[in-house]
């Protein structure tokens, strides 16, 4: 299961898994991008399910459809997310914008993890793996990113709690924190991103395929082993020493 599979990191990970022979349920808000993702690996075992991860009924329908098609859930890549409005100071951020980011990034991740847990506990053989897409912002914020950063910090707590609670059931939970993968969402970084010192400067990016290969490595470990946290970033991006 890959959420946010219609573009960016989600699409890259879905394609990597499909090419490796996984059966993949593709979740995202719109059907057309999901179909485009599936078409990148002709003949592969994919299922596109338009889903708003912030809606419990959509998430339940997604997992029901996936189990009906493939029989079980062995992997959830909890990837769906949004930056929210960029460059907005905290005192000017509308509550609706805050709520949208929280509903998508945090509540959506919880709902998908909860649905995965229910299946993984009951299926035979029992167990599975959840990989949450954190961010460099799970460690260090960018200026004017209060909603995104708060949800990504919270996602780290979600990962730790899920990992602990999953132990009795053979459910392994880890997190990948990604910095400056080249996607549509990060295109502005190459032309200029606001830095902690107030300057605007271009930042290096890395191939999103390198992220996808890392997720695949985490996914294909035996359940007796787990990458708890992995940080994959453009080598020279301003993270170490940011601020």
How distant, in Å, are the alpha carbons of 204, 205, 240, 242 from that of 235?
8, 8, 10, 13
153, two tokens? 């910090």
How distant, in Å, are the alpha carbons of 24, 30, 61, 111, 135 from that of 52?
18, 9, 10, 11, 21
State how far the Cα of 220 lies from the Cα of 37, in Å rounded to an integer. 21
| Location of structure tokens 């907005």 | 88
The angle, 0 to 180 degrees and rounded to 10, between the axes of the packed helices 208-219 and 8-19 is: 50
Determine phi and psi for 14, rounding to 5 degrees: -60, -45
State how far the Cα of 234 lies from the Cα of 215, in Å rounded to an integer. 16
State how far the Cα of 232 lies from the Cα of 189, in Å rounded to an integer. 17
- Select which of 95, 117, 148, 239 is catalytic: 148
Strand partners, 174: 131
239 part of the active site: no
Question: What residues are annotated to the active site?
Answer: 148
């Amino acid at each position: 299961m890959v959420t946010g599979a219609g573009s960016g990191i989600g699409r890259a990970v879905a394609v990597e898994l499909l090419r490796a022979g996984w059966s993949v349920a593709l979740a995202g808000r719109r059907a057309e991008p999901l179909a485009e993702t599936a078409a990148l690996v002709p003949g592969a075992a994919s299922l596109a399910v338009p889903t708003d991860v912030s809606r419990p009924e959509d998430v339940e329908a997604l997992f029901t459809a996936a189990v009906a098609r493939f029989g079980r859930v062995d992997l959830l890549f909890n990837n769906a997310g949004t930056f929210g409005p960029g460059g907005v100071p905290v005192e000017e951020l509308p509550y609706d914008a805050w709520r949208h980011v929280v509903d998508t990034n945090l509540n959506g991740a919880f709902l998908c993890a909860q649905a995965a847990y229910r299946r993984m506990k009951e299926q035979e053989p029992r167990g599975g793996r959840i990989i949450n897409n954190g961010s460099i912002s799970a460690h260090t914020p960018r200026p004017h990113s209060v909603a995104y950063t708060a949800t990504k910090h919270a996602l780290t707590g979600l990962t730790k709690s899920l990992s602990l609670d999953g132990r009795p059931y053979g459910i392994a939970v880890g997190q990948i924190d990604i910095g400056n993968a080249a996607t549509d969402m990060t295109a502005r970084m190459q032309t200029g991103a606001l830095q902690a010192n107030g300057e605007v400067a271009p930042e290096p990016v890395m191939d999103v395929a390198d992220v996808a290969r890392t997720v695949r490595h985490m996914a294909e470990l035996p359940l007796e082993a787990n990458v708890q946290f992995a940080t994959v970033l453009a080598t020279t991006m301003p993270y170490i020493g940011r601020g």
